[in-house]
Chains A and B, each alone.
Chain A
Amino acid sequence: MGNNPYSPHTEADRAAMLDRVGVRDIDELLGAIPKDARHPKLGIGPGLSEMEVQAHLEALAKLNTTAGSGPFFIGGSIQRRYIPAAVPVLALRGEFLTAYTPYQPEVSQGTLQAVFEYQSLMAELLAMDVVNSSMYDGGSAVAEAAFMAVRVTGRKKVVVATEADFTYRRTLRTYARGPELEIVEVPTAKLAASADGAACLVVQHPDAFGSLVDVRQVADAAHAAGALCVQVTEPHANALLEPPGALGVDIAVGEGQPLGITMSYGGPHLGIFACRESLVRQMPGRIAGQTVDANGTRGFVNTLQTREQHIRREKATSNICTNEALAAITAAVYLALLGPEGLRAAARAGAARAHALAKRLAALPGCAIANDGPFFDRFTLRTEIGGWDLRNALIARGIQVEATASHYLAGRREGRDDVIVQCTELTTEADADALVDAVAQLARSGETVAAR
């Protein structure tokens, strides 16, 4: 007792336990460990009290500038959105937070029903047949979708749009080194013409720059070539835009963080993974299903487990074990609280505010919107001073935006140096004013930049 505040054993307890085990010291139980390797000095310093550790972390937190502390326009797959008070109160209850994978369904119905409801809500939102209980994040969901398409088609080429989020493309490229897949990146406009011999076409809609994409045409081209169509989606967009299931998409994936989950500098988040019913046995990850108990009462279990690593080992559809179930439950609580009207309102606010802001910025001298066509709730702003420099100048003024330079893989930059402006329901009129004023000051030049 004393060194680990969470260890309950008194010295008397330890002595009694050792006595029962039949040894005098714990060291006698370590005989299998090479002597010279036992009890190394770690050099990590002494433990702190709870008060001290809280103060230490608070001091470190002060070194960050939180998103909410000024006008904030960074977004993409991870978005700053309003989280209703009841979301963390419910989702972070100890009974959800400190349970594990529901291996014993008789005492895990809370988890299983909540996950089943998440699957149902997400399936409705995406208009897809089946949703799994979660992947790690949007990036791993994209990579696993590509792997699944490879299993289904027996082909090893994956074609992905360059306008897909760069973090997804990076993760996909990294994953692809394992089974040595061929990853081909082409502009969205050329996806349909690149389907020959592909396992799948991966299209993002709305894309990383906010543009709306004709997914149906991509899906048709994929199917004509015997490939699958994978759509990368964002949850809120589906409240207003035609969802993947109505566009002929075979696998829909994306980042579920905007659904009531904190940004937390990148995780833990929620990998959304949905597919057609006919493909479900090739799906990765856990799936909750409905059944009855011995009394005929409705209940839920993890099902179709013969796809999974603990049963199938090297023949499993994926290696995933621990997933992001709590994030799935959080997303379900969020959707239940907002309902269809609340979700539409949040989505509408982001889109309308982005459209209004874009108009104001485009009217400034030397500024233009670089999206080719209609966009959803973010857009690309081109100015004479270049996106990277503009972004840094804005940060110095307390306004946070993202530069498109981040989006191009090394050696593949295509000369675009813009900023991306994301709006959500949390974007205020004052935020918009601050951005317009700052850009107006910075982009003093009177010349107009032609849209690409």
Chain B
Amino acid sequence: MTVRTQVIPDVGAKTPVPALEPLLFELARPGRNGRHVVSDDASDIPTAFQRTAPLRLPELTEPQVVRHYTHLAQLNYSVDTGMYPLGSCTMKYNPKVNDRVASLFADLHPRQSYRTTQGVLAIAFELEQILAKITGMDFVSLQPQAGAQSEFTALLVFKAYHARRGDAATRRRIIVPDSAHGTNPASAAMCGYQVTTVKSDGRGNVDLDALKTALGPDVAGFMLTNPNTLGLFEERVREVCDAVHAAGALVYGDGANMNALLGVARPGDLGFDCVHINVHKTFSTPHGAGGPGAGPLCVKAHLRPFLPKPWIVREADGSYHYDTAREDREPAGLGDSIGTIKQRLGNFGVLVRAYTYMKTLGEEGMVETGRDAILAANYLLALLRPAYDLAYDRPPMHEFVLSATKQKKQGASALDVSKALLDEGFHSPTVYFPLIVAEAMMIEPTETEPKETLEAFAAAMLRIAERVKTDPAAVREAPTKTPLRRLDEVTAARKPVLRYREA
């Protein structure tokens, strides 16, 4: 990255400090205007309701707006820019054809009749079937808009399942491993559950004895990521699921790491009652600078009655509709369903991209994806092992977790190493997660990085390790070649400035 700090010449006194790019508000001048939407219509809003508060939106011309956002875009690292080995995020290449076909479905309103949206319903119906086949589950809800919302949805399903069996009132606890993503305990708490954490064993698995001790008639479910956040496949996954079921509880599969299992293994064959899919990870839809995603929930048949409504029905003549009483009105009754999480089919614009990707890959492509993701992680680990510690020494799946403890003793932390990588032209791994590994660096190369890029990344990591030995202070100063140096996050939190205000 070669963008330098600059004071934009035409900003003048309006930008109070040195900045990479002025704010929209600082670029604006009263009276500037585009002509995107004009209207001769007169306002006829009753006086009592009219806006009296000033509307201080910036006034700009289109060329200014275009340059502004182009400058901002150039300050970003992205998958289109280079390797983005952010562990657990599966930053694989995002195919462009997926984006183009999504635009074919842009001008459709979710409240249109099913009669005018047969193409949408056909795609959604087939997508549900493909997802069920890939995960080994029976039914799918496309409504959840992200992984965390899918977790919450699944826990509502658990609650409804236990309510149907008559013991929801006593099953008040959800168990999560100590290696779990923060969303797992957060979703459980949001769903009104108490959270119990169980530790991991020396091989990076859930400690089965600790789990059995924690299980009891007050437990509603267990949330498990597999492969887990160490990138390791649970060696006794079936015993884990059996133990949970024996206690009358359900097993939730967090599908964050599903990329490793594409065509390789299916949660439904391992004992899970349900699993969510992050299509923005596994199925190549773009992460959008933080979102959108989509988080379909795939379940076994015994959980189907509780899935969000409406459901898509396919008629013998190949037409589709919703299972509502009269066309697309509210279902006559929800039955055991938890209700509605998101109107109709969730983030359809994301889901259609995932569908396109699945059609492109097909069966053989799926298998190759899972296997190449595993191969890439193992290869990269082999290149990095000479310099960095590995917390749990067994073959990883699609990602692995290194520890920078050695480097920390030499004077540079995992954070420092991650910042030095930015100077080398790479995005950093996920750092300080999972919490059970000191100075953790979680690295996920994905299947779409060529061998030579993996080698270049490894070479950069090894150079940094060498520099830590000889000049740790320099590593602590990194990054120096990025658009900005390290930012003062402490002051940002202590004296929050969360919006522009005119001085």
Contact = CB atoms under 8 A, between A and B. Distances in A.
A212 B48 CA distance: 10
9 contacts: A96-B73, A101-B290, A212-B49, A245-B53, A265-B348, A268-B349, A342-B33, A355-B44, A374-B49
Given A4-B369, A21-B382, A266-B343, A107 B189 contact: no
A37 B269 CA distance: 6
Contacts of A245: 53
Interface string A404-432: 01101111000000000000010000000
Nearest to A94: B80
A245 B53 CA distance: 9
A6 B151 CA distance: 30
Given A267-B342, A291-B491, A326-B292, A107 B145 contact: no
Contacts of B24: 117, 120-121, 332, 336
Contacts of B332: 410
Interface string B75-94: 11111110010100101111
Interface stretch (A38-46, A194-202, A222-230, A378-386): A38-46
A402 B109 CA distance: 11
Contact of A339 (B57, B73, B379): B57
B329 interface: yes
B362 A45 contact: yes
Given A67-B109, A104-B418, 10 more contacts: A57-B123, A100-B287, A119-B499, A121-B24, A139-B341, A240-B45, A266-B345, A269-B347, A289-B496, A303-B492
B345 A103 contact: no
Contacts, number: 714
User: Interface size class for chain B?
Assistant: 35 or more
Interface stretch (A128-136, A184-192, A362-370): A128-136
A40 B349 contact: no
B21 A174 contact: no
A278 interface: no
B325 to A, nearest CB: 8
Interface stretch (B207-215, B352-360, B406-414, B463-471): B352-360
Among B49, B182, B191, B496, the most chain A Cβ lie within 10 Å of the Cβ of B49
A288 B57 contact: no
A406 B65 contact: no
B36 A292 contact: no
A104 B266 CA distance: 33
A410 B360 contact: no
Contact of A337 (B34, B232, B371, B496): B34
Contacts of B52: 242, 246
A267 B485 contact: no
Contacts of A267: 145, 292, 294, 342, 346-350
Contact of A314 (B108, B185, B333): B185
Contacts of B49: 212, 241-242, 374
Among B76, B133, B364, the most chain A Cβ lie within 10 Å of the Cβ of B76
Given A53-B97, A268-B291, A298-B17, A119 B77 contact: no
A127 interface: yes
A395 interface: yes
Interface residues of A, number: 210
Interface of B is mostly: loop
Interface string A62-89: 1111111000101110101010101001
B290 A37 contact: no
Given A17-B379, A395-B113, A106 B145 contact: no
A8 B361 contact: no
Interface in B8-26: 15, 17-21, 23-25
A452 interface: no
B147 interface: yes
A178 B55 contact: no
Contacts of A140: 145, 149, 342
A16 to B, nearest CB: 7
Among A16, A80, A134, A341, the most chain B Cβ lie within 10 Å of the Cβ of A341
B122 A286 contact: no
Contacts of A290: 492, 497-498
A139 B343 CA distance: 9
A160 interface: no
Contact of B57 (A82, A124, A134, A170): A124
Among B23, B36, B327, B383, the most chain A Cβ lie within 10 Å of the Cβ of B36
Among A22, A66, A400, the most chain B Cβ lie within 10 Å of the Cβ of A66
Contacts of A313: 182, 185-186, 195
B38 interface: yes
A117 B50 contact: no
A13 to B, nearest CB: 5
Contacts of B42: 348, 352
B316 interface: no
Nearest to B55: A340
